[in-house]
Each structure stands twice: as structure tokens, then as C-alpha cells.
Amino acid sequence: MSERQLEPYRAWLQDSVPLVVRGWCPAAGQRRYQQASDELIERTTDDAASRRYAEACPVAGVDHTRYRLRELTLPHGVRLLAGVHFRGQCSHYPFVGVFAQSRWLTTGETAAAHAALLSEFSVFAPRATWWWLPAGKDLPELAGVTPDQHLVMGSLDEIRRIPASPLPPHWVLRRLDSASEVSTAFADLYRSFHSARPDLEEAVPATKLEALVDCAEAEGLYGCFAGGDLMGVVAVKPDTQYSVDAWLMWDIVLARPYCGKGLASILQRAVLDRLDAARAPLVVGTINARNLPSLRTALRVGRQVVGTWMFMEVEAASIVGQCDA
């Protein structure tokens, strides 16, 4: 599939960028289209990429080419580009992600598309389809629809206009030049977190050491200390994957005795105040919909939910005949 074949999806791709994001970055719509073009070529023609994906999430008897994006044409002229995904890169929860659509769908069309996608990718036994909804778009009134990930974004300039609360007087925030300074303690913080919240162990894994190293090299790894004890870690780095120049929030974790006291938002804000807005004027990250403490922290800092990826579980296909056409 060539870049030219993405043209029918251009209007939707640009409209899928939330209005508030286009306000922060007027070029975001065009950048979204260009990034989709680059990704489309890789996900439809790159043998090495599809082989790596198939090796990482193997399904017996399925050739690597079936892991690529493919196009479906549905009634009423609706066209979709979609591909198989695996939650947490683990083959026990396959789902079909919608990469692009030729236009926004009605509730009935969404249900019909859901059924068609499950059929098209049946060799993977998908458990859901996965859709993007920017803020302001209504959620389809269908059974089995649940939020998966929120995209949470904010302008550093706007955030800094809000007076910041100080860190506790005995806490010292320090930018780290090396992830090795906190790697062991960071793993301990996550073990404590998962022990207290086993329901989030799969949904909210610890950031891998390689990513912490990348954040340190980008001058975006911070540790907060009280004496020799690590109180928390914040890891960020500049990125452009969401069509804007933003500091991507990789991780924030706090020592368990200090959770639930409003300190995570104070720590996050202290880090945001230190970031170089000239390198990236926004901050962005994804937050699992089940991770309500992290979502509340981000909102208290001044970030906002600009869109959500939604799961539509398999059982939603059974209500196609009950919906509007």
C-alpha cells in the first residue's frame, strides 16, 4: 500500500486530532497525516517489521504477513484500515485496532464494522476492536464498550500560570544523569505499588530500564530524595508521536507511604516547571483508564483528557440488528 492510498482517510485523520490540540499546535492535523503515512508504509510493506511482530506475539499457523494493516470496505462506502494488536504485547488478549477510517461512523455502522473486523481477523481470535475518540465525540451507545487508554495532554505555559504548591521541605528534587542511580530503588517502588494494587500490575507495568536510560540522556529523568531515601521518580523525554512536540510522560511513581496525599501532583508539577519548553512546549502521556490515581494526578497538574482509545468487546457484535443503520 502506498502513501497515495491513504488520501481517502486524510480528512478523518486530521479531524481526529482534538480541537484543543490543534489550538496548541495548528500544524497538528497535517502532522498527523504525515505520521500516519510513514507508519502505513512500514505496517503494510516492511517484511522485517511484520516478522518481528509475529515473533513477539506468535499465533500458531499464522504467517507474518497477516499481522499487517489491511483495508476493509463496508456498506455505505465506509472504508477502514485496521490491524491486529496484542494487549501488553502478550498473545492472550488479541484485538483489532482501527488505524484510520474514511469518516466518522454512526452507532449502527460502528457495530457493523466491529462485526466485520472480528470476522476479517478471526484467525487471531480477537477479543475486541479498538477505536479512537477525541474529546468532544460521543461514545457509541453499544454494549461492551469500555475505555482503555486516555491521552492526557497539557501546555507547559498554561500549566505554569497556575501557582505551584511546594514540595515537602525535606524533599530534594534532582535531575539524574544516569538511570543506574535509581534503577534498583525504582524497581522496589514498583514492587510496592503492585503489591498494594495487584489489579493494576498488568495494566500499569514499570517502565523498562532502556526507556529510563533514554529519558536520562534527554535530560528528563528526575529523582526526589529525602536524605538517602528515594521518594519518587519522574521520567519524561521529548517526542513527536502524537503529532505535536511534547515531553512524553513515561513514568511517575511515588513511595507507597506518600501515596494518596496529593504529593504525586506536586512532584509532577515540580518536574514540569523544570522542563525546557523551547524543546517541546507541551506534555503528553497515556494513562490506563483503570489507573484512576494517575489520572487524578494529571488533571490536578493542569493536563486534560484530549481523547480516549475504546475497547468494544466481542459481545457487542450481537446487537448489530438493534442499532440505527
Per-residue pLDDT reduced to its tens digit, 124-174: 999 999 999 999 998 888 888 999 999 999 999 999 999 999 999 999 999
pLDDT of 3 reads 61
Strand bridging mode 221-226 / 229-239: antiparallel
pLDDT of 316 reads 60
Domain boundaries along the sequence of the chain: 3-152+309-322, 163-301
For residues 288 and 204, the answer to whether their CB atoms sit within 8 Å is yes
Mean pLDDT of all residues belonging to the chain:
92
Give the angle subtended at the CA of 126 by the CAs of 125 and 130, to the nearest 5°. 170
Per-residue CA distances from 83 to 44, 161, 244 (Å): 10, 42, 24
**Does domain 163-301 bear CATH number 3.40.630.30?**
yes
The residue written with cell numbers 529519558 in the block is 215
pLDDT of 323 reads 36
Question: Which residue, among 286, 310, 242, has the nearest Cα to 20 in the 3D structure?
Answer: 242
What residues of the chain score a pLDDT lower than 70?
1-3, 316-325
Verdict on whether the full-model pTM lies above 0.85: yes
pLDDT of 309 reads 97
> What is the C-alpha to C-alpha distance for residues 5 and 87, in angstroms, rounded to an integer?
28
pLDDT of 325 reads 32
pLDDT of 142 reads 86
For residues 262 and 304, the answer to whether their CB atoms sit within 8 Å is no
pLDDT of 67 reads 95
pLDDT of 320 reads 40
